[in-house]
Amino acid sequence: MLYTHLGRTGLKVSRLCLGTMNFGPHTAEKDAYRIMDTALEAGLTFFDTANVYGGWGDRPQAHHGWTEEIIGRWFALGDERRERVVLATKVYNPMANPLDGPNDEGGYSAYKIKRSVEASLRRLQTDHIELYQMHHIDPHAPWEEVWGAFEDLISAGKVVYAGSSNFGARHLCWAQQAAQSRHFLGLVSEQHKYSLLTRQPELEVLPAALELGLGVIPWSPLAGGLLGGHALDGQGGQRSAEAGASLDSGVRARLERFHELAAAAGHSPANLALAWTLANPVVTAPIIGPRTPEQLTQTLVVPEIKLDADLLAALDEIFPGPGDPGSGADPGAESATGPWAYAW
């Protein structure tokens, strides 16, 4: 496994980030343990979760916080599992906590941030979180309040770094300007939707992150499974089959060309798509969400894949960037325009 610094910090993280969103609703707890053990054995030490994960699906035990609880029980197994992990989780969404009443709504009041941290620490069975990320934009909470709460948590040793997710470029700039005025480090990373099929962030978000020294952590780097290799053949499970069935002819044609290019280059489509994100210098680590240890093992080679100029140009031809003609076939494009196209 290769490692890199998280943004402009001195913290080193693995160049793949283990996503845990499926733990609970779609991945049984014992299988989640096997995946996390396999990741650690391979040197993949960067794990991402969120306080709200686990609260969907048709399983009767589904509830917000379920994923964090699974990770916490895995940590409790010992063998320095917690000590070896760089842990990232998130705050923003309602958690269905009646004790918080109207303050359980999404947002970043100092009240919500501090109570959410304490709840995540209990579920995760740990005393600190390396990267505490703001999951969405809250236009109502002033940065003086947000950064005041984060400063308290960092001083208390409960949080080490602050990150964001789904922010627009202007929000990143506002956050960092406010942090600088307080002589505070501010954000160190931005987690954003980015893939060969979702390249709009190249217009504003990625350049802003690069200039500000933020590490970008792409989520959905396989575009919800469309770039994973099974959207066309329907062999990747129900969700992959549904995604493939809904493709328009233009996107399907691009994916067929992409599969041919991956085969010619000697890579699986998923690994080629992930390696493409890592070829961007602002990207720290794409988030991967394996359903089995075997899937994880197949992905571990990605940081070692080097894409030459010809292969990158071929990918640009199939999936044009946002400023190129013919780039409007992006199935993940947001309907909003301007800075809010990137933030939600």
pLDDT tens, residue by residue, 251-292: 999 999 999 999 999 999 999 999 999 999 999 999 999 999
Question: What's the whole-number mean pLDDT along residues 40-68?
Answer: 93
- The pLDDT score that the predictor gives to residue 318 is 97
Q: Please give the Cα distance from 171 to 339 (Å, whole number).
A: 9
- The pLDDT score that the predictor gives to residue 76 is 98
Helices (H), the chain: 29-41, 66-75, 110-124, 143-155, 169-181, 205-212, 238-245, 249-265, 269-278, 293-299, 309-318
Q: Please give the Cα distance from 98 to 153 (Å, whole number).
A: 24
Averaged pLDDT of the chain? 92
- The pLDDT score that the predictor gives to residue 334 is 46
Least Cα distance to 123 among 163, 84, 91 occurs for 91
Would you call 273 helix, strand, or coil by DSSP?
helix
Does 238 have pLDDT greater than 70?
Answer: no
The 8-class DSSP code of residue 186 comes to: -
Could you tell me what percent of the chain has a pLDDT over 90?
Answer: 80
Domain boundaries, the chain: 3-341
Reported as a pLDDT band with limits 50, 70 and 90, residue 329 is very low
- As its CATH architecture, domain 3-341 has Alpha-Beta Barrel (3.20)
Assess whether 53 carries a catalytic annotation: yes
pTM: 0.93
Reported as a pLDDT band with limits 50, 70 and 90, residue 231 is confident
Catalytic site residue from 33, 53, 132, 161 = 53
For residue 74 the two structure tokens come to 């895995």
Only one residue has tokens 């990143």, namely 172
Question: What's the whole-number mean pLDDT along residues 149-155?
Answer: 98
Q: Please give the Cα distance from 153 to 212 (Å, whole number).
A: 23
Report which of residues 109 and 106 the model is more confident about: 109
On whether the CB atoms of residues 141 and 108 are closer than 8 A, the answer is yes
On whether the CB atoms of residues 193 and 19 are closer than 8 A, the answer is no
Q: Please give the Cα distance from 150 to 136 (Å, whole number).
A: 16
Report which of residues 135 and 328 the model is more confident about: 135
Residue type, 246: S
The 8-class DSSP code of residue 235 comes to: -
Q: Please give the Cα distance from 198 to 201 (Å, whole number).
A: 8
